[in-house]
Amino acid sequence: MIDITGVTKTFRGKPAVKNVSLSLADEECVGLIGPNGAGKTTLLKMLVDIIRADTGTIMIDGRPVAACKNDIGYLGQTPAFHGWLTGEDALIFSGNLSGLAGSVLQHRVTEVLHQVGLWDNRKRQVSHFSGGMKQRLGIAQAILHNPRFLVLDEPLSALDPIGRREVIHILTELKQTATIILSTHILNDAHELCERFCLMKKGQIIRDISSADFLERNGSNTIFIEFSGDVKQVLAHLSQLPFVVSAAPYERGVTVVLQEPLFKHQLLTVLLSEKIDLFKFEVTQDSLEDIFLKEVL
């Protein structure tokens, strides 16, 4: 378990992270999302002890993060490798730094190269890798020593749609056995990966909520209904309901605007109790990106 308590970091008098507290349970995948300059990268660097917090504590299973580095795998925002090394040699170098050696290291290098889809390019120099290949190599070095905690800064950047899909598949497998915190600006991909989101703005976490609750609470208030029967009669009935803001004919049905998204359950109950023959009951759901923009702008 990771516990971040009251963490603050200031650069040249300007706070990059302000009094942030956050806990991650074992095998939880948390997405850290926010605009550029929100403090995401600074928080992640403190989490892996690259930079130290001015105040506050970061503990992993009750121990200071500085004593737990072998339990952490880290992917920086821009993975950097010596260009003259091959992909395989770069991982061997990283493995040695993590304390791996001999047949154990060679087995893990082979395993992760297959896992990230770089086995066929293992003998190619990193200087000839594409951006997406370097990103996958970065993920390979982060997971090489089988860490229990993964800290990933923009793991889906520099990837084309096919590459993103491959990395999402890799991370979906990894989160079965590891605790993951990742930052990203590709919000719909984050929604697919993460069970929980932390929205950062100006160095603070302004929302910490599960994926399901986030969309439920911020969903659209608009419902589109298609049915057989007298449209005018149904409109008149819907307009009298206390939780309905408005009801109007639209194309082959009716559009209903509710006071709150949660009232959709009551609306459906009313329609069924009135024995209205429904063809469609469609909730217009905001995307995660729509909701994010409402929160941070």
| Confidence (pTM) | 0.79
Examine the pLDDT at 216 and tell me if it is beyond 70.
no
Task: Go through the domains of the chain in sequence order and give each one's CATH number.
Answer: 2-216 (3.40.50.300), 220-296 (3.30.70)
Examine the pLDDT at 285 and tell me if it is beyond 70.
no
Q: At 250, is the pLDDT very low, low, confident or very high (cuts 50, 70, 90)?
A: confident
The pLDDT of residue 219: 61
Q: At 286, is the pLDDT very low, low, confident or very high (cuts 50, 70, 90)?
A: low
User: pLDDT digit string (tens) for 169-181?
Assistant: 889 999 999 999 9
Examine the pLDDT at 35 and tell me if it is beyond 90.
no
Q: At 230, is the pLDDT very low, low, confident or very high (cuts 50, 70, 90)?
A: confident
Report the percentage of the chain scoring pLDDT > 70: 95
Chain-wide mean pLDDT for the chain?
90
User: pLDDT digit string (tens) for 63-112?
Assistant: 999 999 899 999 998 888 999 999 999 999 999 999 999 999 999 999 99
Q: Mean of the pLDDT values across residues 115-132?
A: 94
Q: At 157, is the pLDDT very low, low, confident or very high (cuts 50, 70, 90)?
A: confident
Q: Mean of the pLDDT values across residues 273-293?
A: 80
Range of lowest pLDDT (166-170, 216-220, 221-225): 216-220
Q: Three-state secondary structure along the chain?
A: CEEEEEEEEEECCEEEEEEEEEEECCCCEEEEECCCCCCHHHHHHHHCCCCCCCEEEEEECCEEHHHCHHHEEEECCCCCCCCCCEHHHHHHHHHHHCCCCHHHHHHHHHHHHHHCCCHHHCCCEHHHCCHHHHHHHHHHHHHCCCCCEEEEECCCCCCCHHHHHHHHHHHHHHCCCCEEEEECCCHHHHHHHCCEEEEEECCEEEEEEEHHHHHHHCCCCEEEEEEECCHHHHHHHHHCCCCEEEEEEECCEEEEEECCHHHHHHHHHHHHHCCCEEEEEEECCCCHHHHHHHHHC
Examine the pLDDT at 193 and tell me if it is beyond 80.
yes
